[in-house]
A and B are shown apart, each in its own frame.
Chain A
Amino acid sequence: MERRDCACVDAERLAVVDEVVAARGTAPGSLIPILQDVQARVGYLPPAVLARIGERAGVPAAQVHGVASFYSQFRLEPVGRRIIKVCHGTACHVQGATAITEALCDELAVKDGGTTADGEYTVSSVACLGCCSLAPVMMIEEGTYGRLTPEAARKVVRKRGK
């Protein structure tokens, strides 16, 4: 993967932090929205970025890391350009979500939670996407796919391109 943290990439990311903090402000309660905005633009939250958020927002580094590691939305490791969220809610579980994850992992040659070698996809099992009546379901970026079979899930990925 090309996501090595070189100096220029870091400088860009830190500039993003400064912009986001300036826009969100440093009032109490703004830490989580800042983390969300920064992650949306940088892709994940590497250590240098977390440190800068603490500095700029006036929050102790331990608290920044504590919050970032507590919530499942925040990623401390790089991810693929597109994330496939496979729903493993109750309805999806009952309707065979495990087979969907297995098929996707097989198709893309990754483990659950892992990223493809070309850095395109990350496959991730998630708790519930709230589309239970269309179970089993997966989401790629903002697009939701319902009533899946293992074969249908493979086809979606093939069609979208690897």
Chain B
Amino acid sequence: MGAAVSVPEITVGLSSCGVAAGAADVHAALAREIEARRIGARLRRTGCVGMCYREPIVDVALPGGARCTYGGVKPEHAARIIEEHVIGGRPVAELLVRAEDRTLPDEAYYARQVRLVLRNCGVIDPESIDEYVAAGGYDALAKAVRAMTPEQVIAEVKDSGLRGRGGAGFPTGMKWELARKAPGTKKFVIVNADEGDPGAFMDRSVLEGDPHSVLEGLAVAAYAIGADEGTIYVRAEYPLAVKRLAIAIADAEKRGFLGERVLGTGHSLHVHIKEGAGAFVCGEETALIASVEGRRGMPRIRPPYPAAKGLWGRPTNINNVETYANVPWIIAHGAAAFAAYGTEKSKGTKVFALAGKIARGGLVEVPMGITLREVINDVGGGVPGGHAFKAVQLGGPSGGCIPEEFIDIPVDYESVVQTGAIMGSGGMVVMDDRTCMVDIARFFLNFTQDESCGKCTFCRIGTKRMLEILNRICEGNGREGDVERLQELGEKIVSSSLCGLGQSAPNPVLTTIKYFRAEYDAHIRDRKCPALACRPLLTWEVDAAACTGCTLCARACPAGAVTGERKKPHSINQDLCTKCDACRQVCRFDAITVR
């Protein structure tokens, strides 16, 4: 967990998720305590360590002492941490989530992880190039440009078996070779940081926690294919990532890692940031290029692939954030060390954004080939609150829902595809018995329908028709034959769309029909939602045995549907009830039932 320190070091995780949980206030409180007591301690900043479920996170390291991690820290804890731990040398036991003796329960979160991409996340200060260099940063770039030919770099990446981490899994080395061999002297490299999948935040965390690793990977790629200009296309919704990237680019230029004559060689690379303007389809590489060129982000037919004709018609290499972040590690440690992790066809590790109904949600990196069960139960701690695991959604709107029967499949590109889902960029949303699968299918269709660029008729109108059917089913107006109509439309949209958005848009619907058909039938035939999620199909009632007649629900009901005398059981007039759930939310005696 880091090197020994000469003065006490207190580190606060300040990525977007940390800040959202209140880490900035904790940082300020610690600064005040250090100032007030005039102790010689260093207050540091870092990105997301991955333990988002414990945010805000504070790390304390003492000279000659154990390094400890605190979770769920509040500003009012600052004084105790300084007083008892930094000055007194006794860690505050009840806030500890990780310590060097490795006996705390949160240790399980890390036990199965292998952190190659996330090697510096939550460890170094993302705004300090010195800390990146001290951690071995830019050694790989120096090795590549000084000791290797571009062909040797490409061979190393090919031998590593690295495949694109954006979702499709195309071999990275082969992609680079195509761009290198494409005729032309002016070539481009692009980082696809347009992370638009709802439920995914890997790229944001890497950009916020370790921006230099992405820049270094980009610089190695540029050298390998012979590009002198790079663009980072990043979502405008990630302001902190944009800010930290801008700092990293400026610092790397000052040190000669980027700019004219990289590290004194004949190779140059100028990198610009391009902020996306909010269009999911721009994650598709040809649409992304159109957007960089200032046009509507619409995909075009491939071939020609960007490797031959990309930005401004020139050979262009596009990879996603995580792919590039792997590259410095591969060059520094060698292809064989990387290929030692993973399965035969899926090498290395994969970063997942673990969220939803899971005890330990956050950013995890596991070797390929580990089973879904191991990720969800061992790393993530399983479904909390005594509820039953139902499915895991992989790959966002392009992916699908994997039911419990496949929970023991290994996590690799081929095994996941066999279930009808896709690996995707790494969003992993866990669902329990309270999640309605028809509603989830509708949720994703609503998204893709909205984000379709409109170029292909099947994608534009087909998804709209599918959404109409799903809306009808969730509202209790489903008809016999609806499921078959969804399947037929879905298959046609898959086969008739130009780009990945349309080709994968029906996946969430098709996989939920495949594995949860009974739930569709319950909605259509019985007008019931077994997960109790689709409100139009539910009924709110008062459990007379539990009701104390406190009148809270009657006062909360905006429709005047709840009536009753004080201290006597109340009742709900179903004709007036608008199914707003206000009565249940205020009830202190669990006396409102929904079925």
Q: What's the least CB distance linking A88 to chain B, in Å?
A: 7
Contact across chains for B279 and A133 when beta carbons are under 8 A apart: no
Closest chain B residue to A127, Cβ basis? B198
Contacts of A102 in B (CB 8 A): 580
Contact across chains for A91 and B199 when beta carbons are under 8 A apart: yes
Task: Tell whether A70 pairs with B294 under 8 Å between CB atoms, given A90-B443, A128-B197.
Answer: no
Q: Pick 24 A–B contacts, CB within 8 A, sort by A.
A: A31-B294, A32-B275, A32-B291, A32-B294, A36-B277, A63-B295, A70-B296, A72-B278, A74-B277, A88-B198, A89-B198, A89-B199, A91-B356, A93-B443, A94-B431, A102-B580, A127-B280, A127-B447, A130-B16, A130-B235, A132-B201, A132-B353, A132-B355, A134-B21
Contact across chains for B199 and A71 when beta carbons are under 8 A apart: no
Which single member of A59, A73, A74, A144 contacts B16 (CB below 8 Å)? A144
Contacts of A36 in B (CB 8 A): 236, 275, 277
Q: In whole angstroms, what is the CA distance A146 to B361 when docked? A: 13
Q: Mark B333-364, 1 if CB is under 8 A from A, else 0.
A: 00000000000000000000111110001110
Interface residues, chain A, CB within 8 Å of chain B? 28-33, 35-36, 59, 63, 66-67, 70-74, 88-91, 93-95, 99, 102, 126-135, 137, 142, 144-147, 150
Which single member of A71, A90, A128 contacts B279 (CB below 8 Å)? A71
B429 on the A face (CB < 8 A): yes
Instruction: Name the residue in A28, A31, A32, A150 with the highest tally of chain B Cβ atoms < 10 Å from its Cβ.
Output: A32
Q: What's the least CB distance linking A116 to chain B, in Å?
A: 20
Contact across chains for B294 and A133 when beta carbons are under 8 A apart: no
B285 on the A face (CB < 8 A): no
Contacts of B291 in A (CB 8 A): 32
Contact across chains for A94 and B357 when beta carbons are under 8 A apart: yes
Contact across chains for A128 and B199 when beta carbons are under 8 A apart: yes
Task: Tell whether A90 pairs with B361 under 8 Å between CB atoms, given A71-B297, A99-B581, A132-B429.
Answer: no
Q: In whole angstroms, what is the CA distance A36 to B276 when docked? A: 10
Q: In whole angstroms, what is the CA distance A30 to B361 when docked? A: 39
Contact across chains for A71 and B581 when beta carbons are under 8 A apart: no
Contacts of A31 in B (CB 8 A): 294
B389 on the A face (CB < 8 A): no
Q: Mark B462-504, 1 if CB is under 8 A from A, else 0.
A: 0000000000000000000000000000000000000000000
Closest chain B residue to A106, Cβ basis? B558
Interface residues, chain B, CB within 8 Å of chain A? 16-17, 19-21, 52-53, 55, 195-201, 204, 235-239, 274-280, 291-297, 312, 353-357, 361-363, 393, 396, 427, 429, 431, 435, 440, 443-444, 447, 451, 453, 580-581, 585
Contacts of A91 in B (CB 8 A): 198-199, 355-356, 361, 429
Which single member of A28, A72, A133, A150 contacts B361 (CB below 8 Å)? A133
Contact across chains for B297 and A133 when beta carbons are under 8 A apart: no
Contact across chains for A130 and B204 when beta carbons are under 8 A apart: yes
Which single member of B19, B236, B435 contacts A94 (CB below 8 Å)? B435
Q: In whole angstroms, what is the CA distance A82 to B451 when docked? A: 25
Contact across chains for B278 and A73 when beta carbons are under 8 A apart: yes
Q: What's the least CB distance linking A160 to chain B, in Å?
A: 15
Which single member of A29, A63, A128, A150 contacts B198 (CB below 8 Å)? A128
Closest chain B residue to A88, Cβ basis? B198
Contact across chains for B55 and A29 when beta carbons are under 8 A apart: no
Closest chain A residue to B432, Cβ basis? A94
Contact across chains for B393 and A90 when beta carbons are under 8 A apart: yes
Contact across chains for B17 and A128 when beta carbons are under 8 A apart: no
Give the top 7 A-B pairs by smallest Cβ distance, nearest first.
A133-B52, A90-B199, A89-B198, A71-B277, A144-B20, A72-B278, A132-B355
Q: In whole angstroms, what is the CA distance A126 to B142 when docked? A: 42
Contacts of B204 in A (CB 8 A): 130
Closest chain B residue to A95, Cβ basis? B356
Contacts of A29 in B (CB 8 A): 292-294
Contact across chains for B443 and A130 when beta carbons are under 8 A apart: no
Contacts of B280 in A (CB 8 A): 127
Contacts of A150 in B (CB 8 A): 585
Contact across chains for B21 and A147 when beta carbons are under 8 A apart: yes
Task: Tell whether A30 pairs with B55 under 8 Å between CB atoms, given A70-B279, A150-B585.
Answer: no
